[in-house]
Amino acid sequence: MVHAGMSAHDVHWLCVTHFHGDHCLGVPGVVQRIARDRVRHPVRAVYPGSGEDYWRRLRHAAAFADTSVIAEHPLSGELDGVGPLTARRLSHPVESYGYRVQEPDGRRMLPERLAAHGIRGPEVGELQRTGSVRGVTLDQCSVPKPGQSMAFVMDTRLCDAVFELASGVDLLVIESTFLAEESALAKEYGHLTAYEAGQVAAEAGVRRLVLTHFSERYGFDDEPAFTAEAHQSFTGEIITARDLMRIPVPRRQVHTPVK
């Protein structure tokens, strides 16, 4: 978090996919940073319920002045509509969840329309809240703005939940542990190949695909092979993730009507 320029005050959710070490051993540092920096807002912690023992140990891994802001949400099955978050059970040797964050749809105000109707200052807020001001409606001064969405799919075989989570998202961060030549190993250990990651992105209509979680059997020099393989099944934008990289969720296109 320090190297990434992330403050503990930026954290509102802790979403643990599963309790294999490479996916959860960072939890104590994050929890203790939240406590030490006196974060006041609630932080929701979502994790596989069958791993409650692991969660307890990670939550209290060392002596520190504890915090009361962390609200625990152990998952069993699935979680729908807790704020912007959806969780779906994946297919992995231990209970594992993928997550999707969906921003609600909104409207973008059109300054020239507001000006034409003489609406300014506090009236703009009133129009947004109530839907009309002096007989002028919100529709006349704004256009729909679809919310942005992203999915985080870590450690799974191909299954329906993967497609459901990724459906139409602007950004998909997905594991691609193996190349297709090792697809037998991928199935056995509950992982995806780069080709399958691309297949998900193509079928789900993803806009930006981010590949990560490459097996240690491959080196840095092999990374272009992951991108190339995913491009066989997905023609859109593909990014190979590196530590500390910041990847924006692509903006939604808003179509401004012709006057």
Active site residue ranges: 22
Minimal distance in Å, beta carbon 92 to Zn ion? 6
- Residue 91 makes contact with Zn ion by CB under 5 A: no
Give the tokens for residue 15.
């979403």
Count of Cβ atoms closer than 10 Å to residue 40 Cβ: 8
Q: Which is nearer to Zn ion, 25 or 116 (CB)?
A: 25
Q: How far is the CB of 155 from Zn ion (least distance, A)?
A: 4
- Rounded-to-integer distance, Cα 197 and Cα 158, Å: 9
Dist CA 19 CA 156 (whole Å): 13
Please select the residue that binds Zn ion; options are 30, 46, 100, 155, rule is CB under 5 A: 155
Nearer to Zn ion (CB atom), residue 21 or residue 81:
21
- Quick one: which segment of 25-33, 50-58, 110-118, 149-157 binds Zn ion (CB under 5 A)? 149-157
Q: Which is nearer to Zn ion, 24 or 70 (CB)?
A: 24
CB atoms within 10 A of CB 218: 15
Residue 20 engages Zn ion in binding (rule: CB under 5 A): yes
Judged by CB under 5 A, which stretch of 33-41, 150-158, 212-220, 246-254 contacts Zn ion?
150-158
- Strands in the chain per DSSP E: 13-15, 43-48, 70-75, 79-82, 85-89, 97-102, 106-109, 132-133, 136-137, 142-145, 149-153, 171-175, 208-212, 237-240
Residues in touch with Zn ion (CB under 5 A): 20, 155
